Amino acid sequence: MKKIRKVLVANRGEISIRIMRTCREMGVKTVAVYSEVDRQSPHVAMADEAYCIGPAVAAESYLNIPKILDVAKRAGADAIHPGYGFLAENARFARAVLDAGLIFIGPNPDTISLMGSKTESRKTMMDAGVPVVPGARDALETVEDARAMADQMGGYPVLIKAAAGGGGKGMRTVRRPEDLARAFDAARGEAQKAFGDATVYVEKFIEAPKHIEIQIIADQHDNVLYLWERDCSIQRRHQKVIEECPSMVLTPEQREAMGAVAVQAARACGYVNAGTVEFLFDSEGHFYFLEMNTRLQVEHPVTEVVLGLDLVKLQLLAAEGHPLPLRQEDLSPRGHALECRINAEDVYNNFVPSTGQVTHLKHPEGPGVRVDSGITAFSEISRFYDPMAAKLITWAETRDEAIERMKRALLEFQIEGIKTTIPFCLAVLDHPEFRSGKFTTKFVEQYWDSLKAAGSADADLLEVIAAAVAYHQDQAGAATRAEVNHAPGRAEISPWKMRALQDMRRSK
Amino acid sequence: MKYFLKRADDFAEVDIVAENGQLAIHKDGRNYQVDLVSLGNNRYSLVIDHQVYSVEAVNDSRTVRLVLNQREYQVTVLNQRQKVAQDLFGDSDADDLQGDVSAPMPGMVLKIEVAPGQQVEQGQPLLIIEAMKMENEIRSPISGTVTEILVKPNQAVEKDDTMIRIE
């Protein structure tokens, strides 16, 4: 059994920090890699060692396999943790890590490769008797193939998906035959950009399902556990926004059934380490295999909090070759956990990315609150990377208490300089459909108008506050002018010159 | 001291008197006792008739942009001097060309879906910008005719760059 003494984390932002925290606690040294614009990123400060690996563009830094391996060698790291995104599900990378004589903290390259292809993974799951969404068994080359497949499945709506996809990239819903060609091209274009592979396929679009996923963990000794579910149905454009554990709609029997299928899926592809089996869960309680994510998920903290586990620790132990330190019947879930993703996006302007410098930051604190953040008070939110700035996780004995705690924590969150999804999360948490727990992936689309209007403040109050602030600033401005004007040996300065002077000072 | 406010379609006039370090604000026949403290970093703590509010506020010449309970609002606030100037010289905001389509964020133009001279409807897709690895469809703010296209595919744009003009 090989002991891991130093881990290179091939990532940036909050997930790098998350991984390094556990490494520290386990006495494992950490190595950060960073691009030229990320020297000030908190993941660099968190590490024991740090190496710049190239320009801002991810293709030349965080996706640069030779450079990352070179750093691993120079630093004397014995393992690489890929986090999520970037190279996390790149089989070629995992293979290169193993070939370099290092431990890859994740499943083996063949599993990644198999599950990374939506078409291949579907075939494997079909053969293993795992229920899948009806649709194409193979990739589609042309729009005509897609059209034929759609007709064969009984018509529209259908979903075009990137074979190499994930995170909603390279995915388009098509409701009318005349929209197929445009969506097909768009999905291929986006897939090529995001994954370097334009291959797409088509499957039946299941109306208003829930997205429920099962966390699994497997060691190298044929032990596979399911670590309960996460309900990730609150999504916008296929991007998860709020996740929770447990789901309000699963009976213990359904949980056990889905867990057993997830374990079966993991065994079918020889899975080792932490992974997630995603399912669509329809209104009648049927569930279909959607895909398997061969990495640590963004939303893993809700599982950790409810089960009292450290998934990164389990990952390291499994990667070292230890048998899992617990059995299925040892799990002791307690209470309810929620996670809100705090993205740098302008909610009220079609969620466009909100780039720029964070000018002030204060995280929420207090009982039952966990913040996994990738930014600091002076971070630059760059257009080069993912807009997720932080994750806010709350835990309480009951779901209602966890929601109230989340609202409290969201209101405490102070981020200035950029716009974030905090107001959106607040609006969702108060919505009766969310409160019921029965919401589906259609929730945001369905209730957008009421979500957008939610929480609007009293007009009189806003105007009184605005007037008070304007008055205060006028007075402060007058005081500054007076001070300068009365400075000894200084002639009277006109307000115009004063303004120019202030501008000059500011630009210095 | 008088202040003139505008928010959405709502106009209001308030009168502010400073007394004992607090502000007495009179608005629409109501008096508000306001205690405002600056906390730095554009943050203010206000106690209005003993109700506590925390806001982030930036006064950008005549527009106060404020965040209250994590929602952002904009209120145009003019003091007496600014009001006189506006009455004399007109409202410069009215000159803003509504049909200028500018980039909402820095990114890369992927595809332009309209041509000069083309009639477009409000909400019609005009072009696609890629930023943060996502494709963002930019739609027309008004119905009209495309008069000018100032960008090309694969061109990098900065936030607020004008990309297309529509009249």
Nearest by CB to residue B34, choosing from A349, A353, A468, is: A468
Indicate which of B132, B135, B136, B159 best probes the interface with A, i.e. most A CBs within 10 Å of its own CB: B132
Place of tokens 């930019």: B138
- Residues A410, A280: Cα–Cα separation, whole Å: 29
- Residues A329, A341: Cα–Cα separation, whole Å: 31
Q: Taking the domains of chain B in order of start, what are their residue ranges?
A: 2-95, 100-166
DSSP of A362-381, one letter per residue?
E---STTEEEEE---TT-EE
B17 at A interface, C-beta within 8 A? no
Place of tokens 């001070």: A483
Which of B 73-92 lie inside 8 A of A, CB atoms?
73, 75, 77, 79
Nearest by CB to residue A460, choosing from B27, B69, B73, is: B27
The type of residue at A201 is Y
Chain B residues with CB under 8 Å of A171 CB are: none
Q: Which two tokens stand for residue A89?
A: 């599900």
What's the per-residue H, E or C state across A405-457? HHHHHHHHCEEECCCCCHHHHHHHHCCHHHHHCCCCCCHHHHHHHHHHHCCCC
Q: What is the ipTM, given to two decimal places? A: 0.77
pLDDT at residue B93, rounded to an integer = 47
Q: Which two tokens stand for residue A127?
A: 């053969």
Angle in degrees, CA A14, A18, A19, rounded to 5? 120
Q: Which class in CATH covers the domain with range A335-456?
A: alpha beta
Among 3.30.700.30, 3.40.630.30, 3.30.1330.10, 3.30.70.3150, name the CATH number for the domain at B2-95. Answer: 3.30.700.30
Please report which helix (H) or strand (E) contains residue B16, including its range. Answer: strand B10-19
Cα nearest neighbour of A350 on chain B: B136
**The domains spanning A6-105 and A134-204 adopt the same CATH topology:** no
DSSP of B69-132, one letter per residue?
TTEEEEEEEEEHHHHHHHHHH--GGGGS-TTEEE-SSSEEEEEE---TT-EE-TT-EEEEEEET
Chain B residues with CB under 8 Å of A430 CB are: none
Fold (topology level) of A6-105: Rossmann fold (3.40.50)
Chain A residues with CB under 8 Å of B105 CB are: 352-355, 383
- Residues A471, A465: Cα–Cα separation, whole Å: 10
B46 Cβ partners below 8 Å, 6+ apart?
A: A465, A468, B34, B35, B36, B37, B52, B53, B54, B55
- Residues A96, A390: Cα–Cα separation, whole Å: 31
Q: How many residues are given for chain B?
A: 167
pLDDT at residue A426, rounded to an integer = 97
Q: A416: which strand partners?
A: A360
- Residues A298, A122: Cα–Cα separation, whole Å: 23
Q: Which residues of chain A have pLDDT under 70?
A: 166-167, 480-508
Fold (topology level) of A208-324: D-amino Acid Aminotransferase; Chain A, domain 1 (3.30.470)
CA A476 from chain center: how many Å?
43
- Residue A300: which of A232, A224, A203 has the closest Cα? A232
Please report which helix (H) or strand (E) contains residue A367, including its range. Answer: none
What's the N-to-C CA distance of chain B in angstroms? Answer: 42
C-beta separation of A5 from A75 below 8 A: no
Cβ within 8 Å, pair A426-B44 = no
- Residues A491, A25: Cα–Cα separation, whole Å: 63
Indicate which of A12, A190, A346, A352 best probes the interface with B, i.e. most B CBs within 10 Å of its own CB: A352
Q: Is A417 left (phi over 0), alpha (psi -120 to 50) or beta?
A: left
Q: Which two tokens stand for residue A217?
A: 């963990």
The type of residue at A373 is S
B48 at A interface, C-beta within 8 A? yes
- Residues A170, B134: Cα–Cα separation, whole Å: 9
Cβ within 8 Å, pair A193-B30 = no
Cβ within 8 Å, pair B44-A422 = no
A284 Cβ partners below 8 Å, 6+ apart?
A: none
Cβ within 8 Å, pair B134-A193 = no
Nearest by CB to residue B44, choosing from A455, A459, A469, is: A469
B136 at A interface, C-beta within 8 A? yes
Q: Which two tokens stand for residue B84?
A: 């006189």
Phi/psi of residue A213, each to 5°?
-125, 150
Nearest by CB to residue A470, choosing from B67, B79, B107, is: B79
Nearest by CB to residue A386, choosing from B1, B70, B132, is: B132
What's the N-to-C CA distance of chain A in angstroms? Answer: 58
Q: Taking the domains of chain A in order of start, what are their residue ranges?
A: 6-105, 134-204, 208-324, 335-456, 459-507
Between the CA atoms of A488, A492, A498 and A502, what dihedral angle is there, to the nearest 10 degrees? Answer: -10
C-beta separation of A202 from A152 below 8 A: no
Second CATH level (architecture) for the domain A134-204: 2-Layer Sandwich (3.30)
Which of B 139-158 lie inside 8 A of A, CB atoms?
none
Please report which helix (H) or strand (E) contains residue A204, including its range. Answer: strand A200-204
Q: Which two tokens stand for residue A507?
A: 């630009």
Give the count of Cβ contacts less than 8 A between chain A and B. 151
Q: Which 3 state secondary structure label does DSSP give A130?
A: coil
Q: Which two tokens stand for residue A375?
A: 């930014």
Q: For B90-138, how does the pLDDT look when each residue is reduced to its tens digit (9 = 90+)?
A: 655 444 446 788 887 788 898 899 999 999 888 788 998 888 767 778 8
Please report which helix (H) or strand (E) contains residue A296, including its range. Answer: none
Cβ within 8 Å, pair A459-B5 = no
pLDDT at residue A242, rounded to an integer = 98
C-beta separation of A83 from A294 below 8 A: no
Phi/psi of residue A353, each to 5°?
-55, 135
A508 Cβ partners below 8 Å, 6+ apart?
A: none
Phi/psi of residue A275, each to 5°?
-155, 170
Closest-CA distance of chain B to residue A470, Å: 7
Closest-CA distance of chain A to residue B143, Å: 19
Fold (topology level) of B100-166: OB fold (Dihydrolipoamide Acetyltransferase, E2P) (2.40.50)
Q: Which residues of chain B have pLDDT under 50?
A: 93-97
Which residues of A are designated catalytic? 295
Closest-CA distance of chain B to residue A432, Å: 20
Place of tokens 């889905």: A258
Q: What Cα–Cα distance (Å) separates residue A294 from each residue in A166, A278, A344, A391?
A: 11, 11, 26, 21
- Residues B13, A15: Cα–Cα separation, whole Å: 50
What does the longest C-alpha to C-alpha distance in chain A come to? 89
C-beta separation of A8 from A16 below 8 A: no
| Angle in degrees, 0-180, between the axes of helices A300-307 and A311-320, rounded to the nearest 10 | 90
- Residues A214, A228: Cα–Cα separation, whole Å: 6
CA A312 from chain center: how many Å?
16
- Residues A42, B120: Cα–Cα separation, whole Å: 46
Q: Return the half-sphere exposure (C-beta side, CA atoms, 13 A cut-off) of residue A145.
A: 15
Cβ within 8 Å, pair B73-A462 = yes
What's the per-residue H, E or C state across A219-259? CCCCCEEEEEEEEEEEEECCEEEEEEECCCCCCHHHHHHHH
Q: How many residues are given for chain A?
A: 508
